[in-house]
């Protein structure tokens, strides 16, 4: 296999190793998941070998799920540990060695067949272990959602996504790379969505959708609305 992942004989090479280990996978009440995602990328497209890029990403997850209150409440807890390495000999400023630890909680509550309430919480701690220009970023990612449905008649969903990125340690005043802070700048980023569907008949449907977005350091808020009527014959 080294023949396809060698700078002397390959323009591009990728190693991907995925593994899942489940305990109680078919048990609806509770279960445990151990997950590993490993990817090794080789980019060898430059005549000068020093400009080529090597990237290694490895994500490891421990997940525990549990049902409560007669299966109306589903709680999932996760611990994520991953690293992302990028190495370019000719450009040390592009080198990355990011370690990420994240704690995730997902709560899904369905009191009746019509209503569903959900919230995802994630706390992340990221550190670029660059010897000359270290960088540390923390973030909170919160995503609540409410859904309502009338079988065969209508369906409505509203959700919100809030991401707060905090710069903890940055002595060299570096720009935060896209691989950190979930690709967002320092500060508060918001996204929201509301969607409504109404079925007039089996052949005619009305859809209305509204999206809003305001990223950290953005000059203005973006709004997008869309409504349509669909007829099937």
State pLDDT tens for residues 80-121.
999 999 888 777 778 899 999 999 999 999 999 999 999 999
> Does 204 reside within a domain?
yes
> Tens of pLDDT along 20-78?
999 999 999 999 999 999 999 887 776 666 777 889 999 999 999 999 998 899 999 99
Predicted local distance difference test score (pLDDT) of residue 5: 67
Predicted local distance difference test score (pLDDT) of residue 203: 87
> Tens of pLDDT along 112-162?
999 999 999 999 999 999 877 889 999 999 999 999 999 889 999 999 999
Q: Mention every residue, 6+ apart, whose C-beta is less than 8 A from residue 150.
A: 114
> Does 10 reside within a domain?
no
* pTM for this model (two decimals): 0.85
Predicted local distance difference test score (pLDDT) of residue 160: 98
> Does 89 reside within a domain?
no
Of 151, 181, 144, nearest to 166 (Cα)?
181
Give the total number of structural domains in the chain: 1
Q: Which two tokens stand for residue 221?
A: 């808020």
> Does 199 reside within a domain?
yes
Is 181 within 8 Å of 154 (Cβ atoms)?
Answer: no
Predicted local distance difference test score (pLDDT) of residue 182: 93
Q: Is the pLDDT of residue 2 over 70?
A: no
Question: Whole domain around residue 123: which residue ranges?
Answer: 95-231
> Does 7 reside within a domain?
no
Q: Which two tokens stand for residue 22?
A: 């489940």
- Distance between the two ends of the chain, CA-based, in angstroms? 54
> Does 115 reside within a domain?
yes
> Does 135 reside within a domain?
yes
Predicted local distance difference test score (pLDDT) of residue 12: 76
> Does 184 reside within a domain?
yes
> Tens of pLDDT along 171-228?
888 889 999 999 999 999 999 999 999 999 888 999 999 999 999 988 899 999 999 9
Predicted local distance difference test score (pLDDT) of residue 7: 65
Predicted local distance difference test score (pLDDT) of residue 171: 87
């Amino acid at each position: 296999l080294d023949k396809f992942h060698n700078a002397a004989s390959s323009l591009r090479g990728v190693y991907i190793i995925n593994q899942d280990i489940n305990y109680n996978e078919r048990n609806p009440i509770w279960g445990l998941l151990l997950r590993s995602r490993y990817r090794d990328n080789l980019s060898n497209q430059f005549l000068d070998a020093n400009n080529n890029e090597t990237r290694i990403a490895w994500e490891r997850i421990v997940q525990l799920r549990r049902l409560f209150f007669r299966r109306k409440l589903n709680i999932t807890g996760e611990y994520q540990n991953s690293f992302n390495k990028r190495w370019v000999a000719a450009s040390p400023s592009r080198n990355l060695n990011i370690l990420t630890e994240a704690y995730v909680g997902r709560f899904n509550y369905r009191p009746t067949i019509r209503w569903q309430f959900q919230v995802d919480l994630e706390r992340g701690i990221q550190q670029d272990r660059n010897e000359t220009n270290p960088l540390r970023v923390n973030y909170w990612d919160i995503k609540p959602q409410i859904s309502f449905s009338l079988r065969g008649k209508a369906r409505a969903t509203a959700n919100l996504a809030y991401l707060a990125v905090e710069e903890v340690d940055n002595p060299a005043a570096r720009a935060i790379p896209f691989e950190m802070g979930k690709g967002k700048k320092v500060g508060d980023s918001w996204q929201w969505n509301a969607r409504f569907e109404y079925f007039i008949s089996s052949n005619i449907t009305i859809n209305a959708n509204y999206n809003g977005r305001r990223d950290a350091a953005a000059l203005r808020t973006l709004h997008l609305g869309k409504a349509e009527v669909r007829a099937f014959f």
